[in-house]
């Protein structure tokens, strides 16, 4: 686990994502959002867009009919703050539409 007082590197976050993808797809979805934020903040727009797409793809597998279903389980991942609720509308609001 990364130290929450510093930002995790994108490599660290990608390693976390790979582990979570096998064991906890919601956690992996949160981590993909964090990766999109980190890459955007680093100015790597192509990588950020790839992680936005990954996040949206994972979100398709979850119901989003109520706040409880879209509430994030963590407040941050690798030092990146997560939104309170995570669904496609939030992702598009933060990153813009990909289409």
Percent of the chain with pLDDT over 90: 89
Tens of pLDDT, residues 28-65: 999 999 999 999 999 999 999 999 999 999 999 999 99
User: How many other C-beta atoms are found inside a 10 Å radius of the C-beta of residue 7?
Assistant: 19
**3 state DSSP class of 77:** strand
Tens of pLDDT, residues 78-94: 999 999 999 999 999 99
CA distance 28 to 20: 5
Map out the domains of the chain as residue ranges: 10-95
Residue 75 tokens read as 């407040």
């Amino acid at each position: 686990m990364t130290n929450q007082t510093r930002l995790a590197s994108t490599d660290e976050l990608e390693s976390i994502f790979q582990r979570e993808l096998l064991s906890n797809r919601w956690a992996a979805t949160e981590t993909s959002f964090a990766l999109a934020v980190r890459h955007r903040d680093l100015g790597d727009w192509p990588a950020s867009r790839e992680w936005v797409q990954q996040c949206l793809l994972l979100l398709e597998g979850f119901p989003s009919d109520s706040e409880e279903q879209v509430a994030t389980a963590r407040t941050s991942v690798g030092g990146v703050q997560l939104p309170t609720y995570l669904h496609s509308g939030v992702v598009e609001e933060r990153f813009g539409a990909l289409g």
